[in-house]
Structure 1
Amino acid sequence: MIQAGKIHRINGLKATWWLLLISVFAVSVGCKSTRRLGENEYLLKKNKLEIAGKPDIDSDELKDLIRQKPNRKTFLIWSMHLRLYNLGLGKNQEGKFKSWLRRIGEKPVIYDSTETAKTVEQMERFLFQHGYFKGTVKDSIIYNNQQDPKNFFSFLNPLRNKKKVILKYRVEPEEPYIVASLNYNFLDPRLENIFKKSTIKWIPIEGEKYDYKKLDDLRKQIATCFQNQGFFDFKKNYIKFRVDSAFGDHTVHINARILNPVKTEPNGEKVDQVHTRYRIDKIYIYPNYNIFQTNSFSDTIRLEKSSIIYNKPLRINPKLLPTKVFINKGLYIAQDITDTYKSLNDMGLYRSVNIDFEYQQPQTNNENELLDAYIYLNPLKRHTFSVETRLETRAYSGQNDENQNVTNFNFGVNGSVSLSRINAFKNGETLRLSLSGGLEPFFLSDSTNTDNFFNTVEFGPRLQLTFPRFLLPISQSKFAKSNRPQTQVTATYNLLKNDDFFRRATKLTFGYFWLETPQKLHRVTPIDISFVNAQLSNSLQDRLDALNNPFLNNTYSDQVILASSYIFTYRQIKSKNSNHGWYNRVKVEGAGNTFRGLAGLFNDNHRKASTYQLFGITYAQYLSVENDFRYYHYNRFDQTLATRLFIGAAKPLENLDALPFEKSFFAGGSNGIRAWQARTLGPGSYLDTNSFSGFLNRIGEIKIEGNVEYRFDLVSFLEAAIFLDAGNIWVFKERANREGTEFDTRFYNDLAIGTGFGLRLDFDFFIIRFDLGYPLRDPTLPENERWFYQEKTKYNSIVQRFNQRNNLSGDNAIRGYRSNLNFNIGIGYPF
């Protein structure tokens, strides 16, 4: 008999062995980090940056200028990679193992005064470029055998290493210079006229602190302005700034000169020319271009604004391509080129997109020079076949996420095969047929009797059709093509079977997707219909009958779900100039509300019934809101501090006083609170003292969860993480025999807290994750016994009385509480 809640558990004795092994490993590589240094060599222990006053200076940018950085730290304090490198040195350095240690390790960073001098020079240049013209930088060395005057406890360290130094940089910016005036001098009157009429909101310079970055951004902005006005050849190098700071009042006056191109005559004389303004004359589109078959384009279709040049067969509707091209006959506009690249790439039909321009025969009038545009499209293969396999535990929110192919069940192993056909109907559509299946440990009742760990089988086909436009009965011209609009229709059939539960689900969705900006994604799904047929085993039905809980009976009954939803996602990934990343996803979903309102309005008896049905089944009615926020901080050692806060609530309404099983929230699992298995935590402080089972009652209507994870590299392919998870699930209204499940203002007393350590095998294209979680605080235990270090006297007494009452002994008896490690396997990061 498999007891619920006992799978993947490692007892406290094994936990001790794990901690002992980790300690032995730490000691084994804990050799002295400076033992290989020469007589006059010092290991750089730390860089300190001190900025005088409170200037408007980004300290992170200054730190990036430091040329010598200390050896990387693991756990923020331990130079593991340096110690591994030292282990690979010695009298015999020829062995493969020692060579491997040196390769995965890191050479010691030895203090170099030359590098320090270069750092000081770069920092002073940085100050000058940001308006601190008289700023200075001073460096100093603190030897590790010296007492730090700012650290009272430094004299207490008798093992202070004399071969380490701390390098200190003191930055004294002084008063910054302010831009008093900015004047423009145009050598070409036409450019001056365009500039004055421009409606662009220019970057503010006057009255601001002098900053060369703002000047460079302004230069780019001015160049783009002219490129969008037909000046195809205009480059930012034609804009020069002259900065005058000779007035002695900490102000500068800037003169911007917009130069003309210079032509060199045969005799070597240089002559100023005027900038040429171009118009686009002809547009040629090659929809099946192949660089190795450039002479085979024999067919041409002439449209209103472009010509389609191709070789047979042409597998795309030629009228579709001009709708994806923003380039028009007339004045050359650089932004149209950018939008065309984005639009054509977003179709997902082409391996590459290239746009070239050719000059026509030069004219005498610089306002009428002509360009021809050539758009080369190299198509992808029309059919693709893929096979995917996964090891994963899924039970994060209990609700469908952005990936519509993800189900809500706790897979152990699963896989899928899929066949995709792009441009299915010659209008850019993508048709994808997939077949997926999986095995998982999924136990609903404590009477489950099986020797199979993977006791659950799930199987089903899925058909998805994506259109590269909105399917709406209105003109598409009302929507910006740059928003990459898509319409997606998906049909899914799913079978899930185990000893307790046989579930058949049919689902049809129809939705729209578009980008407001590259960071902002909108998803509207007006139609999301699910039909769920659930057949329960006798043991599970007997368990539900014994509980006599209408809430649970409705949850595990047949379901009809008529839902609509809206999802807004914001992503700000790590950029070149930032060490931060953001992610926020908001989802609002409602089901059954429109049908309930119409049913009440048109009821034959002109009164509201208690419930209404569709196809003989009481359909679900609820309103759900959830928010998933994540923040990432990265450092130069490929170490990441990842945080997440999830808050969700789903309120069942009058037609059905329970959420469907698929829409309920769950806690625990490899993507949630990892010290607990999926569906073994909550709701609230609820403890099922009638059976001590782990799964049947573990569903909720409210979920709050927070996670913090510190990720760092061990060796090239192996990463590690330390994490802290906290949260739980609750219900809005406490039902009979489910004490402690209701959400109230003291919800923090019901928070479960777990910590742990994980390893990740990084194979570039996917990551295999192993996490060991340990519960620090269990809210299901009695007060004063919830923390891991507290005695469990009262809880063990409850267990003892249960065993006596049910005549359980030996292996059949419920054991007293033991703090256990919970092992999780997953693919990819948990968040």
Structure 2
Amino acid sequence: MRFLSMRVAYKISFIFFIFFIFYSCSPTKYVGKDEYLLDRVKVKVDDYKLNRSDLKRNIRQKPNTRILGVARFHLGLYNLSGRNEKKKFNQWLRRIGEAPVIYDPFMTQRSASQIELYLHNKGFYSAEVSDTIFYKKRKAFVEYHVKVGPVTRIQEVRFDDKEGGRVNQIAEESGLMANFRRDTVNTLLEKDAPLDLDVLDDERERITKMLREKGYFNFSKNFIQFFADTTSAAKENMAKVFVRVVENAVDSNAYRRYFVRNISVNFDYDPMLTAEQVDSTYNTLYYNGYNILYKGKLKIKPKMIIETIQLQQMELYDARRVIDTYVRLQALNLFKMVNIDFKEVESDGDVKALDCVIQLSPVKRQSYNVFLEGTHNSGNMGVGGNFTYNHRNVFRAGENISASIWGSLRKEQVNGEGKIFNTSEIGAELKLVTPQFWMPFFKMKDFRRNYAPKTSISFSYSYEYTPYYTRSIANARFGYLWRKANKKWRYNFDLIDLNYVLMKDVDQNFIDGLKNEYIKNAYTDHMILSAVFSATYTDQQVNVKTANYSYFRVNTETSGNFLSVIDGIAGSKSSASGTLNEKYYKIFGVRYAQFVKADAEYRYNWYINRANSLVGRLFVGCGYPYGNMKVLPFEEAYYGGGANDIRAWQARTLGPGSYLATEKYPNSVGDFKLAGNIEYRFKLIWLLEGALFVDAGNVWNINPKENRFGAKLNYNFFNQIAIGTGAGLRLNANFFLLRFDLGIKVKDPSMPEGNRFVLFDSRGGFRRSVFNVAIGYPF
């Protein structure tokens, strides 16, 4: 282990040496005569409340990308190329590198104008921007000086002020103006707020969205006008804002409402077919008022698709329901393309008519994938594989059934064990997810329509062999998944989560070596019957990599209470045995666990630029065992360390608290966990990425049966938080990410107080480093 860690340390040192070489190379190697490398750009603002990052987004010429704010790694790669542009190696270096940014006076002037324009749009109409250029050793330094000046604020807002204007007769008759006036209570324009053009545009979008949800199919945001009057305002730098709907539109139908007349659904849409070919190729079925088009045999039950569609015949057009229909149809995972098309049809009266055509292109119904992996964690090597078969639409009602088998071989650090692989695991799972909501006693029609619930059923079995015991786990799960279309929250409620755990061939010497009765109790047969609710939030935008985003997950679980009630009603008798000699009840021949558990996780991803990002994570969780089992089951307890947690420690070797584990097998778990991570990620070359990270946290026990020194949660727990740091390399192929992380101990809570900072001595640093290989980002 020590030899491995030292070897990895040399590799990391070599990488940093390469960084130093790149940084030391002359960055002006390919800067021509009478040219200057744009080295730094600063923005100085006389108003400290103004967000400088927003101003910097308007700068049109920015310096070469830096890593850690210092090293121009990508420019260094470009400069490693030779002068001969025909050589493929030089071409490759220039392609993966970044050419020097040559200072351009025109771009500086344009940037100053853009910053000034941005400030004007924010209400700072007196803002002035100037620039200063400094030259030194063929490098240019640009400073933008921003004088903000006073901001113009909104004195009052008037909607549809008819003074000096004509009455919009068509809009009045169609009810548009009545809806417009009623909605003014929801305006984004507030008194005394800055006259911000972005807010005005958001108000235009809001009004347009509201009207398009009330049947105004052809209404556009261009029909909303704003007028700002600063001459009649009571005070200087104040403005009266008038919001109006234009009197005359090119298309008078823009002010009329539309209803949906006919709805057709093409189950096998082919964009290459003409209208004539469609008539001759497709079969037609009229189902509950919907026209169904399909080829050959009907592959999907129409009832399932019709229940998914949010649009209704003879109802007013509603843009919100169109979006909901898109989202729900895509969530079925049955179609590679979903398109909803509307065509205007001739109709009499003020309310016009639309025909709707929903075009669906199906995906392949059956697929499989094979996944192989190798792992290496603190000297514990392993290999594993997974085979999964998927069948979409197995019963022609959108059901997705998957069958998986997996297996792994691992090498655990066990004293006196000479086998290459001494731990093995094999398992299988069968899972069915259906868009049908199996809750027969509650119809909840509105809930089904608005939240697109699914029902999930799964069965799994796994068998694990270790040098000290064998463990079999049978699992059955029944639950629901739902989310509101176009919303950021997802919910999961497992009504039944049953785990039946059998511990066989437990080595008595191993049990005797566990010095704590509390831990011994975790290695007994038991059953967990729990209900689990989880909610997940994220505002990450699909296919958008240039924005900050948050992720939040909360999870609650309760177990054993239902079985305890049954025992109470049935008058069951408890028996006394086990490592703690406690009385408890059995069901199906094994003891069942009782506990409550809750945890939450929050992540935030800061996008810095195309080559740099920063990710933070905070996790807190607590479980409390009681009743029939006074200890959390081993698989439900929290642990510290590992490739996705505090990477300077091997999994289950940290804590609990300041306790120093002396057992042969890693089993350090706890009832309470607190962890935080921050990771700086940066692009290197091709698919290669780098990372620097700091991890902190620990686990503790709150159970009164805990008697290990330093393991219980107390007022001094902050001094028992472990800290690790390190660096990593990642191979990112978008669909697959292979991660290598080297974790280095900084603060070890198992050491005596006053001697816990171990970065620069033999108890920490590179000498005790942990090398992790994993799949995917840690968080």
Above 0.5 in TM-score?
Answer: yes
Counterparts of 2:8 and 2:182, CA distance in 1 = 73
Deviation readout 1:170-209 (Å, 9 max, x if unpaired): 2112111122343425523233233224487222244421
Which stretch of the first structure deviates more once superposed, 180-189 or 525-534?
Answer: 180-189
C-alpha displacement of 1:315: 2.0
C-alpha displacement of 1:223: 2.1
Q: What residue is the counterpart of 1:646 in the other structure?
A: 619
250, 267, 270: which one aligns with 1:290: 270
Contact 1:73-1:79 within 8 A present in 2 as well: yes
Counterparts of 2:445 and 2:643, CA distance in 1 = 46
Q: 1:325 to 1:75 in 2, by over 3 A?
A: same
Contact 1:343-1:482 within 8 A present in 2 as well: no
Deviation readout 1:770-829 (Å, 9 max, x if unpaired): 11111122222233433225767xx9xxxxxxxxxxxxxxxxxxxx99832221101110
Letter in 1 for 2:457: V
Letter in 1 for 2:522: T
SS of corresponding position for 1:482 = helix
Q: What residue is the counterpart of 1:637 in the other structure?
A: 610
Structure 1-normalised TM-score?
0.84
31, 52, 59: which one aligns with 2:52: 59
Contact 2:122-2:197 within 8 A present in 1 as well: yes
Contact 1:549-1:735 within 8 A present in 2 as well: no
C-alpha displacement of 1:737: 7.0
Q: 1:826 to 1:15 in 2, by over 3 A?
A: closer
157, 167, 182: which one aligns with 2:158: 182
Counterparts of 1:347 and 1:165, CA distance in 2 = 55
Q: What residue is the counterpart of 2:133 in the other structure?
A: 141
Q: 1:369 to 1:713 in 2, by over 3 A?
A: same
Q: What residue is the counterpart of 1:536 in the other structure?
A: 505
Q: What residue is the counterpart of 2:138 in the other structure?
A: 163
Which stretch of the first structure deviates more once superposed, 475-484 or 322-331?
Answer: 475-484
Q: 1:319 to 1:62 in 2, by over 3 A?
A: same
Q: What residue is the counterpart of 1:158 in the other structure?
A: none
1:214 aligns to 2:199 (yes or no):
yes
Q: CA RMSD in A?
A: 2.9
SS of corresponding position for 2:538 = strand
Letter in 2 for 1:370: A
SS of corresponding position for 2:734 = coil
C-alpha displacement of 1:336: 2.0
Contact 1:723-1:757 within 8 A present in 2 as well: yes
Task: Report how many residues are paired.
Answer: 752
Q: Stretches of 4+ moved more than 6 A in 1?
A: 271-274, 575-578, 605-609
Letter in 1 for 2:240: H
Which stretch of the first structure deviates more once superposed, 637-646 or 30-39?
Answer: 30-39
Q: What residue is the counterpart of 1:762 in the other structure?
A: 732
Q: 1:360 to 1:19 in 2, by over 3 A?
A: closer
SS of corresponding position for 1:77 = coil
566, 583, 586: which one aligns with 1:610: 583
Instruction: Report 1:80-95 matches (<5 A).
Output: 80-90=73-83, 92-95=84-87
Which stretch of the first structure deviates more once superposed, 571-580 or 283-292?
Answer: 571-580
118, 121, 128: which one aligns with 2:113: 121
Deviation readout 1:386-434 (Å, 9 max, x if unpaired): 2222345799xxxxxxxxxxxxxx9933222122222222222111111
Contact 2:341-2:358 within 8 A present in 1 as well: yes
Instruction: Report 1:448-597 matches (<5 A).
Output: 449-452=417-420, 454-472=421-439, 473-516=441-484, 518-537=487-506, 540-547=507-514, 549-573=516-540, 579-597=547-565
Q: What residue is the counterpart of 2:678 in the other structure?
A: 708
Instruction: Report 1:232-247 matches (<5 A).
Output: 232-247=217-232
Q: What residue is the counterpart of 2:778 in the other structure?
A: 830
Over the matched positions of the two proteins, sequence identity in percent amounts to: 32
Q: 1:766 to 1:605 in 2, by over 3 A?
A: closer
Q: 1:520 to 1:817 in 2, by over 3 A?
A: closer
Q: What residue is the counterpart of 1:674 in the other structure?
A: 647
Higher relative contact order (CA 8 A, sep 6+): 1
Q: What residue is the counterpart of 2:337 in the other structure?
A: 352
Letter in 2 for 1:377: L
Q: 1:124 to 1:425 in 2, by over 3 A?
A: same
Contact 2:478-2:497 within 8 A present in 1 as well: yes
Q: 1:742 to 1:205 in 2, by over 3 A?
A: closer
Contact 2:265-2:291 within 8 A present in 1 as well: yes
C-alpha displacement of 1:122: 0.9
350, 358, 367: which one aligns with 1:384: 367
SS of corresponding position for 1:344 = helix
Q: What residue is the counterpart of 2:322 in the other structure?
A: 337
Q: What residue is the counterpart of 2:579 in the other structure?
A: none
C-alpha displacement of 1:60: 2.0
Which stretch of the first structure deviates more once superposed, 776-785 or 43-52?
Answer: 776-785
Contact 2:744-2:765 within 8 A present in 1 as well: no
Deviation readout 1:680-712 (Å, 9 max, x if unpaired): 222222224xxx445344222222221111100
| Runs of 5+ unmatched residues, structure 1 | 1-5, 145-161, 264-270, 396-409, 796-815
Contact 2:535-2:554 within 8 A present in 1 as well: yes
Deviation readout 1:307-335 (Å, 9 max, x if unpaired): 22333311222222221112122322222
Q: What residue is the counterpart of 1:259 in the other structure?
A: 246
Letter in 1 for 2:453: P
C-alpha displacement of 1:671: 1.0
SS of corresponding position for 1:820 = strand
Counterparts of 2:668 and 2:711, CA distance in 1 = 10
Letter in 2 for 1:68: Q
Which stretch of the first structure deviates more once superposed, 679-688 or 606-615?
Answer: 606-615
Counterparts of 2:122 and 2:21, CA distance in 1 = 48
| Runs of 5+ unmatched residues, structure 2 | 577-581
Q: What residue is the counterpart of 1:623 in the other structure?
A: 596
Q: 1:736 to 1:192 in 2, by over 3 A?
A: closer
Contact 1:633-1:640 within 8 A present in 2 as well: yes
1:326 aligns to 2:315 (yes or no):
no
Letter in 1 for 2:305: L
Which stretch of the first structure deviates more once superposed, 281-290 or 29-38?
Answer: 29-38
Structure 2-normalised TM-score?
0.90
